[in-house]
Amino acid sequence: MLSAGHVYSEYATNFLQDADSKSNTHHVLEFDRNTTRFRVEEMVNPREVRPVGKFVVRLDERWCDCGKFQKLHLPCSHVIAACKYAHHDFSMYISPHYRLNVIVKVYDNLFGELRHEEYWPPYQGPQVWPHPATKRTEKGRPKSSRIRTEMDIREGRQSTKCSYCRTEGHTRNHCPNSLCCTLICFQ
């Protein structure tokens, strides 16, 4: 990209092109050259979900009400509209971290090789163990997280009946007569 003559990273270039196209739909309402403060009004933009608004831009403080200018250190569409109105070059508000020659300097130094794990010194710090309740469950039916109320509690607990012998107190799985019941069924 450097040999092709590009100055900024691909992300920054795409962001600036998008912001520049959006800035053409903005209208600068107020302007104060001494403090470089602007009030920028958005016109209807079909790509944006949020409603049309008015934003204050303070170039001397590198501030815009939308917040993108402060977060990304790239001029948003409101800043570009204000710069066009005041005949400023908006490239002076682009952070130098987006310049390709700065990005390339990160790779000037060699990265150190990582030794095999057997040669690492033993860890002397505190041991951290995860809380069992926050761990993911393995396999099986998920546990219910429902909070039970008075409506869920039965007043009189009904005793269970066995489907083999029809007696109360146990189920088919724990029936003492299940062996004889199965023999009768197969005869």
pLDDT at site 155: 63
**Segment 144-173 mean pLDDT:** 78
Q: Which of 98, 126, 147 is the last residue of a domain?
A: 98
Q: Which of 82, 98, 114 is the last residue of a domain?
A: 98
Residue 51 near residue 111, CB atoms below 8 Å: no
Residue 4 belongs to a domain: no
pLDDT at site 158: 64
Number of domains the chain is built from: 2
Residue 36 near residue 79, CB atoms below 8 Å: no
**β-sheet with 54-58: strand ranges across:** 26-32, 37-42, 54-58, 63-64
Which residues is 42 bridged to in the sheet?
26
Residue 98 near residue 74, CB atoms below 8 Å: yes
Is the pLDDT at 74 greater than 90? The verdict is yes
Q: Work out the pLDDT band at 167, boundaries 50, 70, 90.
A: confident
Q: Work out the pLDDT band at 177, boundaries 50, 70, 90.
A: confident
Place of tokens 């302007």: 31
pLDDT at site 69: 92
Residue 44 belongs to a domain: yes
Place of tokens 């010194």: 121
Residue 21 belongs to a domain: yes
User: Model confidence over 89-136: pLDDT tens digits?
Assistant: 999 999 999 999 888 888 888 778 888 989 989 989 998 888 887 877
Residue 88 near residue 38, CB atoms below 8 Å: no
DSSP 69-120: HHHHSS--HHHHHHHHHHT--GGGGS-GGGBHHHHHHTTTSPPPPPPPGGGS
Query: What residue numbers bound the domain in which 168 lies?
Result: 162-187
Which residues is 99 bridged to in the sheet?
8
User: Model confidence over 7-56: pLDDT tens digits?
Assistant: 898 999 999 999 999 898 899 987 887 888 999 998 865 566 666 788 99
Q: Which of 14-18, 83-87, 90-94, 177-181 has the lowest mean pLDDT?
A: 177-181
pLDDT at site 76: 93
pLDDT at site 185: 46
Residue 49 belongs to a domain: yes
Reading the block at residue 131, the tokens are: 């809380």
Residue 27 near residue 9, CB atoms below 8 Å: no
Q: Which of 76, 98, 120 is the last residue of a domain?
A: 98
Residue 127 belongs to a domain: no
pLDDT at site 49: 60
**Segment 154-161 mean pLDDT:** 66
Q: Work out the pLDDT band at 181, boundaries 50, 70, 90.
A: very low
Residue 151 belongs to a domain: no
pTM: 0.56
Residue 173 belongs to a domain: yes
